[in-house]
Amino acid sequence: MPERIKIGYLGVGRYLPSNVLTNAHLEKMVDTSDEWIVQRTGIRTRRIMSPGESVVSMATAAARAALEHAGIEASRISCIRAGVNTHLRFPSLAALVQEELGIPAISASDISAGCSGFIFSVEEIYNRMFTDWILTGQTSYGLAIGVDGLSLVADYSDRSTCVLFGDGAGAAVVGPVESGEILATYTRSEGRYADLLYLDEILSVPLEDTEAMRFKLHNGIPYPFLRMAGPKVFVVAVRSMISDIKAVIDRYNQLSDSPLNVSDIEYVIPHQANLRIVTAVGEGLNLTPDQVYSDGIVNYGNTSAASIPIAYVEQWARRPGALEADVAFGAGFASGAILRRAPNR
Ligand code: UT7
């Protein structure tokens, strides 16, 4: 097989709102307790947007931080993909971030894939870069974003969901690298589970029935509520993330003449949905607790499409050259994984 170009992350960045929502705050809002939340989810605090903040402002801040970390001018970005579930309007969040960064005409679009949106975004950019390189011999830079403001759609009268969610953004500059190569990606969706995790449709009730038409306003914009059958989602989330790690290894082995095993993986960053889910995924892969990232769920709650790139900032170059995997799961049920080497710098 000919030597192929190495594509990976040149830099990463994130943005977390400064406003902290603690379990003590939630005890005053719904019938819950710090003890229940910590035992059943692991979460202690989350960050919540203030009125002046938005998914666009968070994504722009994370993108700027990633570009600075990478040492790449915004003008060199040729493609933006943004995994986001809470930008419920058009033009796309990616196009608005492009404008904020002052980048002229490029390919910029959003990806709706639940909490797995960042993985889908990286996969698209990665495939696009390979195609460009094969067809033209040229390399370029892309910006993958994962951002969500789940506080916008959390129903703070529903204790079974509202305690889980936080807001935040993460971004990665993707391009040719010397170390930290992405080895393979894998994504899939299973629409048959649509009724287990979804957003209400505000206009699904008669217009005159304002009581039934429940939504909340942020910066003057109405948002519908998120609905989730938590225990059912839990079971599929664990099963999917374990099988997606195996699938991304299989995908790599189809493309490589030096095959890898799941047991070769040294560190995993799973989507931060619930500490019990994160723990179960690690156990299912025979990893020790220190081989599985879990600080995000404790400190920031479930930030949906942002949870993996938020973790990247803390984990950057901690284990130079190590074989690592990121895996996510969410509405759709869209899930997927990235297999990569950790960067050296
Ligand atoms: O990111 C996308 C993917 N999302 C996920 O993967 C989330 C998956 N699901 C979960 O993380 C968990 O299912 C939850 C955290 C949502 C719920 O935890 P659980 O251990 O599955 O609880 P449960 O829904 O089975 O409820 C157990 C009990 C119930 O009371 P009874 O019927 O036994 O008396 C609930 O009413 O806990 C009660 N409960 C609560 N009690 C205090 C549910 N939520 C709360 C709460 N505080 N916040």
pLDDT in tens, 279-321: 999 999 999 999 999 999 999 999 999 999 999 999 998 999 9
* CA 284 / ligand 1 centre spacing (Å): 22
- Please answer whether residues 21 and 46 qualify as being in contact, where contact means their C-beta atoms are separated by less than 8 angstroms: yes
CA distance 329 to 242: 10
Please list the alpha-helical segments (H only) found in 113-229. Answer: 117-136, 159-162
pLDDT (mean) for 230-252:
98
Which of 145, 178, 211 is the endpoint of a domain? Answer: 178
HSE (side-chain half, CA atoms, 13 Å) at 269: 26
pLDDT at 1 over 50: no
Co-location of 73 and 132 in the same domain: yes
pLDDT at 210 over 80: no
Name the least confident of 119-123, 147-151, 211-215, 242-246. Answer: 211-215
pLDDT at 79: 97
Backbone angles phi and psi of 198, in degrees to 5: -160, 170
- In-domain check, residue 212: yes
Co-location of 211 and 108 in the same domain: no
Which mutation among 30, 33, 226, 234 tests ligand 1's pocket best, with the greatest number of atoms within 8 A of CB? 234
pLDDT at 345: 75
pLDDT at 47: 98
pLDDT at 222: 80
pLDDT at 81: 98
Residue type, 26: L
pLDDT at 154 over 70: yes
pLDDT at 76 over 60: yes
| pTM score, whole prediction | 0.96
CA distance 50 to 46: 13
**For all residues of the chain together, what is the average pLDDT?**
94
pLDDT at 227 over 60: yes
Q: What is the residue range of 41's domain?
A: 7-178
Co-location of 167 and 147 in the same domain: yes
Q: Which two tokens stand for residue 258?
A: 């030096």
* CA 187 / ligand 1 centre spacing (Å): 27
Which atom of ligand 1 is found nearest the CA of 276?
A: 11
pLDDT at 42: 98
Query: pLDDT for 94-116, tens place per residue?
Result: 999 999 999 999 999 999 999 99
Nearest to 284 by CA among 319, 235, 227, 340: 235
Nearest CA to ligand 1 atom 18: 40
Which atom of ligand 1 is found nearest the CA of 163?
A: 48
pLDDT at 155 over 80: yes
Co-location of 167 and 240 in the same domain: no
State the total domains in the chain: 2
Please list every protein residue whose CB sits less than 6 Å from any atom of ligand 1: 32, 36, 40-41, 115, 159-160, 163, 230-231, 233-234, 237, 273-274, 277, 302, 330
pLDDT (mean) for 196-214:
69
Q: Determine what percent of the chain is predicted with pLDDT higher than 70.
A: 95
Which of 127, 159, 178 is the endpoint of a domain? Answer: 178
Co-location of 221 and 282 in the same domain: yes
pLDDT at 219 over 90: no
CA distance 342 to 311: 13
pLDDT at 211 over 90: no
CA distance 115 to 108: 20
Co-location of 265 and 240 in the same domain: yes
| Strand-pair partners of 176 | 7
For residue 110, give the CATH number of its domain.
Answer: 3.40.47.10
* CA 13 / ligand 1 centre spacing (Å): 32
Co-location of 203 and 314 in the same domain: yes
Co-location of 105 and 209 in the same domain: no
Which of 178, 205, 231 is the endpoint of a domain? Answer: 178
pLDDT at 2 over 60: no
Q: Where are the beta strands (DSSP E) in the chain?
A: 7-15, 20-22, 45-47, 77-83, 107-111, 141-149, 167-176, 182-189, 197-199, 216-218, 221-223, 226-228, 267-270, 323-330, 334-341
Co-location of 170 and 195 in the same domain: no
pLDDT at 248 over 90: yes
* CA 160 / ligand 1 centre spacing (Å): 5
Please list the alpha-helical segments (H only) found in 42-103. Answer: 55-70, 93-100
pLDDT at 20 over 60: yes
Catalytic residues: 115, 271, 302
pLDDT (mean) for 67-87:
97
Co-location of 243 and 206 in the same domain: yes
